[in-house]
Amino acid sequence: MDGWNKLQSSLSGLNLGQSANKFAKGFNSSVQATRERLGQVAPDEITELPQEYKDLEARVDALRQAHLALLKVTKAYENESYDYPTQIQESITELSTTIGHGITNFAATNLKGTNLPTPSPVAPQVSQHKTLPHALGRAATNAAVAVQRTPGGNEDKLGKALTVYADVFDNIASARVEQDESIQNQYLRPWQTTLSTSINVAMKARQAVRVSRLELDAAKQTLKTTSPVKQEQARLDVENAEDDLVQKTEVAITLMKTVLENPEPLKNLNELVKAQLLYFAAAAEALSSAQGEIEELSVAAEGEYRKSRDH
């Protein structure tokens, strides 16, 4: 311990200009932090920060954790296939088709004027949305077409029900896309901005307070161990460190209050809920209407089935 103190005193006493002083300060702060972490500093030798500051710290930490916790899940809205994991196979098939299209068109362009057969250019495949509502709509459409292509298929009740179901999910799929776009623009981007700007600025101000507090306590330790000749300078260093800590604490308190008083997170959360409400309401309305039509077809089909069994 005496070795650390002597080294601190020696560095503090070096007259090598501002850079050397900054280095000495940084070194002393690192030593102070290490000693505190190892339990080598008595609690009463650690400068106590104002209770208001500590309360604000706790609240900002909670706000930051709230942002991170919700963001971890809601970032799913940045990828439209969040509710349709089996789209991976579709994406692979689509990629293969795109590559094939590219090769064919390259050959069509570059084999002209040669003796090799020139393929005809082909139009690129239209990209499809990879969401569950879109997939359900496509699947129901294909199923309805398959049923209706058979003899008498146009009158098939299952085919009609599948057509109704497909139409409904086309509408729901459009509402899903609108929901995701709204959430990305009105919630996700501003939510992430708050986290990376105002909250981050407050966190940096707190770090500055921590460094300043360590510098003050290191300066106090130096004052205790320095020689009488250097007592006056050591005392001035403590006073300057105290002033610096007071200033940085006031700045951090102001920034933390600003973050906590900002209504933007509540506004963003409201936009998230509003977008979800509009989507689920549109889906519920569409499904309710479709369910009524499909139920009528179901009842009619069951009636016909029982009637045929009675004869």
Q: Per-residue pLDDT tens for 281-310?
A: 999 999 999 999 999 999 999 998 898 887
For the entire predicted model, the pTM comes to: 0.76
Where are any strands of DSSP class E within the chain? none
> Which residues of the chain are modeled with pLDDT < 70?
1-26, 87-126, 311
The CA distance from 11 to 23, in Å, is: 9
pLDDT of residue 184: 98
The CA distance from 54 to 59, in Å, is: 9
The CA distance from 284 to 292, in Å, is: 12
Q: What is the DSSP letter of 43?
A: G
The CA distance from 114 to 96, in Å, is: 27
pLDDT of residue 128: 86
Q: Which residue in this structure is represented by tokens 């300057």?
A: 240
pLDDT of residue 145: 95
Helices (H) and strands (E) in the chain, counts: 10, 0
Q: What is the largest CA-CA distance in the chain?
A: 120
Residue 255 in tokens: 């920034």
